[in-house]
A and B are shown apart, each in its own frame.
Chain A
Amino acid sequence: AQSVTQPDIHITVSEGASLELRCNYSYGATPYLFWYVQSPGQGLQLLLKYFSGDTLVQGIKGFEAEFKRSQSSFNLRKPSVHWSDAAEYFCAVVAYGGATNKLIFGTGTLLAVQP
Chain B
Amino acid sequence: DSGVTQTPKHLITATGQRVTLRCSPRSGDLSVYWYQQSLDQGLQFLIQYYNGEERAKGNILERFSAQQFPDLHSELNLSSLELGDSALYFCASSVLGEPYNSPLHFGNGTRLTVT
Chain B residues within 8 Å of A97, by CB: 56
Q: Is the CB of A100 within 8 A of B56?
A: yes
Number of A-B contacts (CB under 8 A): 56
Tally of A interface residues using CB under 8 Å: 22
A102 cross-chain contacts in B, Cβ below 8 A: 45, 48, 56, 58, 99
| Chain B neighbourhood of A94, CB < 8 A | 98-100
Flag whether B57 is at the interface (Cβ < 8 A). yes
How far apart sit A108 and B35, CA to CA, in the bound complex (Å)? 15
Complex CA distance for A90 and B106, rounded to whole angstroms: 13
A51: interface (CB < 8 Å): yes
Q: Is A41 an interface residue (CB 8 A)?
A: yes
How far is A94 from B96 in the complex, measured between Cα atoms in Å?
15
Q: Which of A36, A41, A107 is the one whose CB lies under 8 Å from B42?
A: A107
B108 at the interface (CB under 8 A from A): yes
Contact A43 B2 (CB under 8 A): yes
In the complex, residue of chain A having the shortest beta-carbon distance to the beta carbon of B88? A43
Within 8 A of A (CB), among B43-69: 43, 45, 48, 55-58
Which residues of B come within 8 Å of A, CB atoms?
2, 4, 33, 35, 42-43, 45, 48, 55-58, 90, 92, 98-100, 103-109
A100-B48, A101-B98, A105-B35 known; 19 new pairs, CB 8 Å cut-off, are A32-B100, A36-B106, A42-B108, A43-B4, A43-B92, A43-B109, A44-B92, A44-B106, A46-B103, A46-B104, A46-B105, A94-B98, A94-B100, A100-B56, A101-B56, A104-B45, A105-B45, A108-B42, A108-B43
Can you list 22 A-B pairs with a CB-CB distance of less than 8 A? A32-B100, A43-B106, A43-B107, A44-B90, A44-B104, A45-B2, A49-B103, A94-B99, A100-B48, A100-B56, A100-B57, A101-B56, A101-B99, A102-B56, A103-B33, A103-B45, A103-B104, A105-B42, A105-B43, A106-B42, A107-B42, A108-B43
